[in-house]
Structures are given as structure tokens and as C-alpha cells.
């Protein structure tokens, strides 16, 4: 596991006078997100597979998930989220000097979706690349942005998590089709800003590659009539195993993050786990004694939006009730790879 924890114990001024915390690696200066208008309801899914609104609500907490319009691709949603984040941060495309886009559903296999986004933003010359780390992609991109900013190599980094999972969902598989939705979330990362990133950690375990995957369409099994006929281009998952692994790994990440900055998990003012299933989120809370009011479950109306889930949940929570200066927020992702990512944010003044 890679860690960017600083060793400084400099106090963070009056905001957290009672808690000496590590110095910031960098900050999130602006947030934005985008969710398509169309909602796929549970009842709509129940017309094609053997399921029900009651089962889906009880087992996942999801009542609806968003679906991109036919002409809308990942970079289009990323563009909407990016514009909002840039406006929030008070920067323009000319200020950007790096674009990192986390996705598992690129517009095209080649070139990168980040390059489509860069062209839409009109900032030719700015390096742009995709990061593939499944549902924890945003956290991976945030750590890379933090490292770049902290090192002085880059100053203003656009970090986006965007996925159009409905395009790779098997709507004949009742276990998985109930979970996934589309969306994008973005953050502008800079030396200073509203959320100091005071801890960051990422990790992967390739022995779990078979637990969540799209079997075909790559170099091992190229697209063919057979791969299409056997739904090889859609997401396959071992739901029960992923459920258990997600609870254990995200709990472990939060425990380590808390310990690294000298608090207990229950001391975080807000914990935002990847929004995969409301029961996974509840189980993480139970493992760590994080009270429900400090645990964000925002999956009801969005479903699992993969790399977009954390920036969307953070942005929606902050918009609904702005996070007060001094609050400590822990974000933690988990997904295909297997891969996980965890950051601690300290809220600053606007
Ligand atoms: C997929 C998931 C919702 C299934 O919920 P669960 O409570 O674990 O359910 P189980 O897999 O134990 O299945 C229980 C029963 O419900 C059935 N079932 C599964 N999906 C169903 C659905 N949509 N409607 C009705 N019944 C369903 C199963 O067939 C099983 O029936 P059986 O007991 O007769 O075999 C849950 O495991 C999950 O969210 N897993 C993680 C998802 C994931 O991989 N996300 C992507 C990466 S983060």
C-alpha cells in the first residue's frame, strides 16, 4: 500500500486547535458533479428480470439509478462535472496544468477519455490521461494529483471520476443490473482550497481480478460475434464475495487513516464510503462504531456510479448542508482490481 502521510504535527490553527493534524498534501479547491436526467426505476427493472422494488430496496437501498442519454458518453458527463468544479474553484481551463480522469467506461478504447475532455475544455497542450482503478478510481487520481501538487510538478489539477456503467450492464442479470447508474464527479486540486487533503492511501490486490470484471473486448478475448452473444462485454461480479471484501477493506482503510492522523474512526465528522450498496455502508459503520449520522449513504437516487460515486456523494452532501470549517471527512473507495483508496479531508473556510 502506498501512503502519502506527512509526518509534520503542526497544529492546523484555531480550526482544530485541540487536534494536531498532519500538514496538507494539497487541497480540493472546487467540486462539481453531473447526473443524467433519466431515472431507471426498480419497477422498470422488474419488468425485464425477476426482481421487485421491495427486494432491491431492502437488499441495496437503491430506488433509482440514472441513465445517460443515447448520445451522451463518459466525456460529456465529465465535461459537465468539470465545468462545475472549475467554477466552484474560480479557475478556468487556462489555469489547468494536468487532467486525470478515472473511468472504467471510456468513450473509446483509444484515445483516452481525458483527451476528449481536454479538447472539450479547449486547453490543448495540457497533459491528460485516464486512470483505471474501478470504483476507487477517483481516490487513485486524487492521490496522483496530491503527489503532483505536493512535489511542485503541477499546480492546478483537474481530477474527474466518470462512468457510464449502464453501457456495460447486463440487463438480463438480476444480481448486477439493479446496482449500476451513470454520473460524473470532479474536483480541482491545488496547493490551497476548501478541503485540505491531509492523508491519502491507495492499494490493490490483483488476486481478486476475477471478482468484478468485463470478460471480453480486450487483448485476451477480443470482440467477436461470440463475445457479444455471450454478454462478454458486460460487468460480471461475485456479489456476495465482493460485499464481504468491500466491508473488510473499507473498514481497514478507515481504521488506518484514523490511526495515522491520531483519531478514532468515530471521530470523523463524516465518513463517505463508495456508494455500492446501503448495506455495505451500514456494515462498515457497525464494524467501526461510526454512528449512522456520520456515515453518508447517498445511493438511493443514484445507484453505484463507480469512479464518480465519491465526488458525487461529497458534492451533494456539501451542497445540501455545507460542511463547516474544522470538520474531518474520510472518503474511502473500493472496487474492481481489487483496488481501494482512502483520503482524509479537513474542511477550511471558503
Ligand atoms: C449483489 C448484491 C446486491 C446481492 O445481495 P445479497 O444480499 O448479497 O444477495 P445474495 O447474493 O446472497 O442472494 C440472495 C438471493 O437473492 C437472489 N437475488 C439476487 N439478485 C436478486 C434480485 N435483483 N431480485 C431478487 N432476488 C435476487 C439470489 O439469486 C439469491 O437467491 P437464492 O437464495 O435462491 O440463491 C450484493 O451482494 C452486493 O451489493 N454485492 C456487491 C456488489 C458489487 O459487486 N458491486 C460492484 C463493485 S463495488
C-alpha cell read off for 296:
453518508
Q: Which residues pair with 159 in a beta bridge?
A: 100, 187
> How far, in Å, is the centroid of ligand 1 from the Cα of 179?
10
Confidence of residue 22 (pLDDT cuts 50, 70, 90): confident
| Bigger pLDDT: 39 vs 5 | 39
Most ligand 1 atoms within 8 A of CB, residue of 175, 179, 335 to mutate? 175
Measured from the Cβ of residue 218, the count of other Cβ atoms closer than 10 Å reads 12
Report the CATH fold assignment for 2-24+198-347: Peroxisomal Thiolase; Chain A, domain 1 (3.40.47)
Collapsing DSSP states into helix, strand and coil, what is residue 18?
coil
Residue 316 has pLDDT above 60, yes or no: yes
Tally helices (H) and strands (E) across the chain: 10, 14
End-to-end CA distance of the chain: 33
Confidence of residue 23 (pLDDT cuts 50, 70, 90): confident
Confidence of residue 91 (pLDDT cuts 50, 70, 90): very high
| Closest protein CA for atom 28 of ligand 1 | 175
For the stretch 129-159, pLDDT in tens is 999 999 999 999 999 999 999 999 999 999 9
- For residue 12, the model assigns a pLDDT of 40
Residue 169 has pLDDT above 50, yes or no: yes
Q: Which residues pair with 164 in a beta bridge?
A: 182
Confidence of residue 206 (pLDDT cuts 50, 70, 90): very high
- Which H or E run contains 28? strand 26-34
The widest CA-to-CA distance across the chain, in whole angstroms, is 64
Distances (CA, A) of 319 to 263, 294, 310, 324, 330: 26, 16, 14, 12, 17
> How far, in Å, is the centroid of ligand 1 from the Cα of 82?
34
* Phi/psi of residue 86, nearest 5 degrees: -65, -40
| Closest protein CA for atom 21 of ligand 1 | 175
- For residue 139, the model assigns a pLDDT of 98
Residue 1 has pLDDT above 70, yes or no: no
Residue 59 has pLDDT above 60, yes or no: yes
- For residue 311, the model assigns a pLDDT of 98
- For residue 7, the model assigns a pLDDT of 29
C-alpha cell read off for 196:
485540505
Task: Tell me the average pLDDT of the chain.
Answer: 94
**CATH of the structural domain 27-192, one choice from 3.30.465.10, 1.10.3720.10, 3.40.47.10, 3.90.79.10:** 3.40.47.10
Most ligand 1 atoms within 8 A of CB, residue of 240, 276, 309, 340 to mutate? 240
Q: Which residues pair with 157 in a beta bridge?
A: 98, 189
C-alpha cell read off for 331:
472518503
Overall average pLDDT of the 167-189 stretch: 97
| Closest protein CA for atom 43 of ligand 1 | 239
Pocket of ligand 1 (CB under 6 A): 51, 55-56, 59-60, 135, 174-175, 178-179, 212, 237, 239-240, 242-243, 246, 276-277, 304, 334-335
* Phi/psi of residue 279, nearest 5 degrees: -75, -30
> How far, in Å, is the centroid of ligand 1 from the Cα of 245?
14
The DSSP 8-state label assigned to residue 22 in this structure reads: P
> How far, in Å, is the centroid of ligand 1 from the Cα of 240?
7
* Distance of alpha carbon 213 from alpha carbon 233, whole angstroms: 9
Confidence of residue 8 (pLDDT cuts 50, 70, 90): very low
Measured from the Cβ of residue 125, the count of other Cβ atoms closer than 10 Å reads 7
Distances (CA, A) of 79 to 76, 138, 159, 165, 209: 5, 15, 11, 17, 30
- For residue 11, the model assigns a pLDDT of 35
Residue 336 has pLDDT above 50, yes or no: yes
* Surface-to-core class of residue 96, CB atoms within 10 Å of its CB (0-12 exposed, 13-18 middle, 19+ buried): buried
Q: Do the two domains 2-24+198-347 and 27-192 of this chain adopt the same fold?
A: yes
Overall average pLDDT of the 83-93 stretch: 98
The DSSP 8-state label assigned to residue 176 in this structure reads: H
Nearest to 223 by CA among 210, 213, 232: 232
Overall average pLDDT of the 328-342 stretch: 97
* Distance of alpha carbon 157 from alpha carbon 148, whole angstroms: 8
* Percent of the chain whose predicted confidence (pLDDT) is above 90: 92
**String of b and e for 279-316 (b: at least 16 CB within 10 Å)?**
bbbbbbbebbebeeebbbbbbeebbbbbbbbbbbbbbb
- For residue 9, the model assigns a pLDDT of 33
Domain ranges of the chain: 2-24+198-347, 27-192
Residue 28 has pLDDT above 70, yes or no: yes
C-alpha cell read off for 66:
440514472
Q: Which residues are catalytic?
A: 135, 274, 304
- For residue 19, the model assigns a pLDDT of 61
**Region for 326 from its dihedrals, namely left if φ exceeds 0, alpha if ψ lies in -120 to 50, beta otherwise:** left
* Distance of alpha carbon 323 from alpha carbon 15, whole angstroms: 13
* Distance of alpha carbon 155 from alpha carbon 34, whole angstroms: 25
> How far, in Å, is the centroid of ligand 1 from the Cα of 175?
5
Q: Are 293 and 54 in contact (CB under 8 A)?
A: no
* Percent of the chain whose predicted confidence (pLDDT) is above 70: 95
| Closest protein CA for atom 20 of ligand 1 | 175
Overall average pLDDT of the 32-38 stretch: 98
* Phi/psi of residue 113, nearest 5 degrees: -65, -30
Overall average pLDDT of the 184-199 stretch: 97
Residue 267 has pLDDT above 50, yes or no: yes
Amino acid at each position: 500500500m502506498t501512503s502519502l502521510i506527512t509526518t509534520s504535527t503542526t497544529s492546523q490553527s484555531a480550526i482544530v486547535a485541540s487536534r494536531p493534524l498532519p500538514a496538507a498534501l494539497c487541497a480540493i479547491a472546487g467540486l462539481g458533479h453531473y447526473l443524467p436526467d433519466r431515472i431507471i426505476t426498480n419497477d422498470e427493472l422488474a419488468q425485464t428480470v425477476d426482481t421487485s422494488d421491495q427486494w432491491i430496496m431492502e437488499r441495496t437501498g437503491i430506488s433509482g439509478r440514472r441513465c445517460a442519454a443515447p448520445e451522451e458518453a463518459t466525456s460529456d458527463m465529465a465535461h459537465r462535472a468539470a465545468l462545475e468544479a472549475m467554477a466552484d474553484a474560480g479557475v478556468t481551463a487556462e489555469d489547468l496544468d494536468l487532467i486525470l480522469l478515472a473511468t472504467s467506461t471510456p468513450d473509446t478504447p483509444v484515445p483516452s477519455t481525458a483527451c476528449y475532455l481536454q479538447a472539450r475544455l479547449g486547453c490543448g497542450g495540457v497533459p491528460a490521461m485516464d486512470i483505471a482503478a474501478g470504483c476507487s478510481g477517483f481516490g487513485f487520481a486524487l492521490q496522483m494529483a496530491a503527489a503532483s501538487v505536493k512535489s511542485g510538478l503541477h499546480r492546478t489539477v483537474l481530477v474527474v471520476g466518470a462512468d457510464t456503467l449502464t453501457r456495460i450492464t447486463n440487463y438480463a442479470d438480476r444480481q448486477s443490473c439493479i446496482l449500476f447508474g451513470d454520473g460524473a464527479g470532479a474536483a480541482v486540486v491545488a496547493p490551497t482550497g476548501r478541503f485540505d487533503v491531509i492523508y491519502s492511501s491507495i492499494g490493490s490486490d490483483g488476486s481478486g481480478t476475477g471478482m468484478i470484471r468485463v470478460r471480453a473486448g480486450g487483448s485476451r478475448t477480443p470482440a467477436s460475434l461470440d463475445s457479444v452473444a455471450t454478454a462478454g462485454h458486460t460487468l460480471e461480479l461475485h456479489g456476495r464475495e465482493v460485499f464481504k471484501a468491500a466491508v473488510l477493506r473499507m473498514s481497514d482503510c478507515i481504521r488506518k487513516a484514523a490511526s495515522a492522523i491520531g483519531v478514532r474512526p468515530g471521530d470523523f465528522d463524516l465518513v463517505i464510503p463508495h456508494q455500492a450498496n446501503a448495506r455495505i455502508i451500514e456494515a462498515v459503520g457497525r464494524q467501526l462504531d461510526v454512528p449512522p449520522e456520520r456515515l453518508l449513504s447517498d445511493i438511493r437516487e443514484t445507484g453505484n456510479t463507480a469512479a464518480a460515486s465519491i465526488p458525487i456523494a461529497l458534492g451533494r452532501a456539501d451542497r445540501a448542508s455545507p460542511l463547516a470549517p474544522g470538520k474531518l471527512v474520510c472518503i474511502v473507495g473500493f472496487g474492481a482490481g481489487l483496488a481501494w483508496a482512502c483520503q482524509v479531508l479537513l474542511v477550511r473556510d471558503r
